[in-house]
Structure 1
């Protein structure tokens, strides 16, 4: 919630006076949006919202709702929107949800704006129903997951919403998994979720999706980082699934790929003596073995196999001669 003691420095906006010499709010109808962007005007509107008169609140709401996204990016208008969110009833919040999510491009501009996330967090905290929460975060999750500031908004959603109500975020992430994983920021977000950084989120579904997508992740710069993170957990049944199912038949190709070779080495190191021989046998018995031998990435995999898995240089030479 907003701190009522903090607001911008007063400006020089002149308001009409009534017969008693008081600032007249009725005479400001039709001007509320422009007043909200004035340093003195935003204070007047905050005060009116704090006073709690339904008529004043409705006037402010009706004139600001359609331009609410742009107003949240204004240094003075944002102050008004933050207080407006706090006093809106359920029906008004429904209208604001519709307004804020109606233009995804403008919403993304808001999320990536320097002060946008501050007021967006207040908006999220003021959502009244599971339906409102579900609608907003289903629109926000995928684009926000690919931006550093936006990913913080997602993390904030996990913090403020109960596990059940934050499930749409989980569903959106798994449904658009590769799109998020192939992005640098999205990759970092997924690694955090896999590590259990969100207490209310069971990471098993994301881990399962990572394993299932193992081959496509292996050859991507940022996607491979997600897979490497799962391999680093060294959970044996997951390693077996990767070796015996997902990546089976692909280790030769992965060995000569810039990112795939890193995955192969990481997997051999995590498996050690248990499943690593399967990987090594597949590589050295491959028709591509000679090419692997002279490829920089492939050669690094073979060198790692010798150091990590006790494959001798003589064995490598024997298989190289067999392939000639």
Structure 2
């Protein structure tokens, strides 16, 4: 006997296949199919099963109806609960409970037509978190379900549903349905307290939705709840700081934690010699550390951090991520606080100055340093000025030292470069340093530089050099306001080679300078 009290007959084999296919069909509430004709033939037992199942209709009371023809040949619908005498040959009532289970597994519940009225309980809540590490399960667990498949991966037709091409491409739950949600998170997040999350804080912190949930809950957190969260996270802070989601939870934790808790966090992070350095070098960790430094207040806390960072000063300065931590420390802490760190920078000055990130950090350190600390930073720059001037990044450090306009520093730098101005002028990077020297020095020093260039036997080659011609133009510009004899010496050198300059690619640039400065230069006839 079946559920309607009628004698239950054993369904033919193809009926079972029909039921399996029905389980995968995206039904919708109150289907409005096109008017069926009397084309449904019961005389052919092997009628296309897909065509047959597409004629099913789901009534508003979740009962399955089947089409049949009246005396006029029109297709009508009759509820299963009324009678089964008009079922197409080979069809039998479909169990709706089993139908719902199978819909969940074949990704059907992602379709909007499976409505919010009859099957609303099957759709996931927006406040529910999914964890990819857990296998399929939950209220729709079915031992006969097919293994999860990646979205977009073609599959062959099976007994459990139609091929993927028959499903909507916009099935946004196709992947999320494959994961299991813990029962304690199936309720809306507003009903969960921090205490409900005990033992799960670290797991949540590493989850995209979980980390947002925790940040929200940690706003206005009580001392008791804070202690619970802190006790679960304290041993995992270093790990979470470099996690793509966990780092946000740590940033929120240091914002709300107490002074004693902050000190303990710092001790944990500096427990191993280079642990904090490693975190700073990470793209997520560097943000976490900068937020951490923002809430470091006491001298003890500052000392713990700076001591740990000083061990890897060179690494931090040269790293694209680590440099941001150095910039923050230099900008926000006093010179006395970061004195030890800057001394370590000075000890590795050349290595840092010749690095893309390092040259910028070194300039920043020099700008914020004063007195003895600045002298320690500048001393290695001066000592290696000639080599740094020819380096792709080091030349910027030398130029920056000149731009300080400290007479003692400028004089010492020029002494280091003396006798090499012509060779530097022919160098792509050194020529920039020579131009800076011409622009930043006093009249007496300017005269010395130009005199050295003009008196050098290789000076004419600068007129035709790709970089040297710019040095000559700069020398002509700055010497116009200086002693007349220096400017005239440059003009005579140009006149001597004027014919060659007019036909040379780079020589023409020197001629163009004179054309632009006819009113100021005695070389009116060029």
Regarding TM over 0.5, the answer is: yes
CA distance in 1 between partners of 2:345 and 2:127 (Å): 44
CA shift in 2, pair 1:76/1:103, >3 Å? closer
CA distance in 1 between partners of 2:364 and 2:310 (Å): 20
Give the aligned partner of residue 96 of structure 1: 269
CA distance in 2 between partners of 1:10 and 1:122 (Å): 32
What's the CA shift for 1:284? 3.3
Q: Deviations over 1:78-121 (max 9, x none)?
A: 355424575526455322322594274444114666x5355343
* Alignment TM-score, normalising by the size of structure 1: 0.71
Map 1:64-83 onto structure 2 (within 5 A): 64-65=236-237, 67-71=239-243, 73-74=245-246, 77-79=249-251, 81-82=253-254, 83=256
Q: Deviations over 1:117-151 (max 9, x none)?
A: 55343465578345412333214543443466644
CA distance in 1 between partners of 2:358 and 2:419 (Å): 29
Say whether residues 1:182 and 2:354 are aligned partners.
yes
CA shift in 2, pair 1:72/1:262, >3 Å? same
Map 1:126-141 onto structure 2 (within 5 A): 128-129=300-301, 131-139=303-311, 141=313
Give the aligned partner of residue 267 of structure 1: 437
Of residues 163-172 and 130-139 in structure 1, the stretch that sits farther from structure 2 once superposed is 130-139
CA shift in 2, pair 1:252/1:270, >3 Å? same
Say whether residues 1:278 and 2:448 are aligned partners.
yes
CA shift in 2, pair 1:292/1:112, >3 Å? farther
Map 1:43-54 onto structure 2 (within 5 A): 50-51=223-224
Q: Deviations over 1:150-196 (max 9, x none)?
A: 44432332354343221122113212223332344433333344344
Map 1:230-309 onto structure 2 (within 5 A): 230-243=401-414, 245-309=415-479
Does structure 2 conserve the Cα–Cα contact (< 8 Å) formed by 1:65 and 1:99?
no
Say whether residues 1:168 and 2:168 are aligned partners.
no
CA shift in 2, pair 1:111/1:202, >3 Å? farther
Structure 1 residue runs without a partner (length 5+): 1-8, 16-21
Does structure 2 conserve the Cα–Cα contact (< 8 Å) formed by 1:256 and 1:292?
yes
CA distance in 2 between partners of 1:183 and 1:292 (Å): 29
How many equivalent residue pairs? 302
Does structure 2 conserve the Cα–Cα contact (< 8 Å) formed by 1:181 and 1:190?
yes
Of residues 177-186 and 167-176 in structure 1, the stretch that sits farther from structure 2 once superposed is 177-186
Does structure 2 conserve the Cα–Cα contact (< 8 Å) formed by 1:182 and 1:221?
yes
CA shift in 2, pair 1:210/1:164, >3 Å? same
* Alignment TM-score, normalising by the size of structure 2: 0.47
Give the aligned partner of residue 314 of structure 1: 492
Does structure 1 conserve the Cα–Cα contact (< 8 Å) formed by 2:237 and 2:250?
no
What's the CA shift for 1:10? 7.4
Secondary structure, in 3 states, of the residue corresponding to 1:296? coil
CA distance in 1 between partners of 2:193 and 2:466 (Å): 77
Map 1:113-124 onto structure 2 (within 5 A): 115-122=287-294, 124=296
CA distance in 2 between partners of 1:76 and 1:273 (Å): 56
Say whether residues 1:208 and 2:379 are aligned partners.
yes
Structure 2 residue runs without a partner (length 5+): 1-125, 130-181, 186-191, 480-486, 499-526
Structure exhibiting the larger radius of gyration computed from Cα positions: 2
Alignment RMSD (CA, Å): 4.2
What's the CA shift for 1:264? 1.2
Judging by fraction of residues, say which structure has more helix: 1
Does structure 2 conserve the Cα–Cα contact (< 8 Å) formed by 1:112 and 1:150?
no
Does structure 2 conserve the Cα–Cα contact (< 8 Å) formed by 1:49 and 1:57?
no
What's the CA shift for 1:263? 1.4
Secondary structure, in 3 states, of the residue corresponding to 1:128? helix
Does structure 2 conserve the Cα–Cα contact (< 8 Å) formed by 1:224 and 1:263?
yes
CA distance in 2 between partners of 1:279 and 1:273 (Å): 10
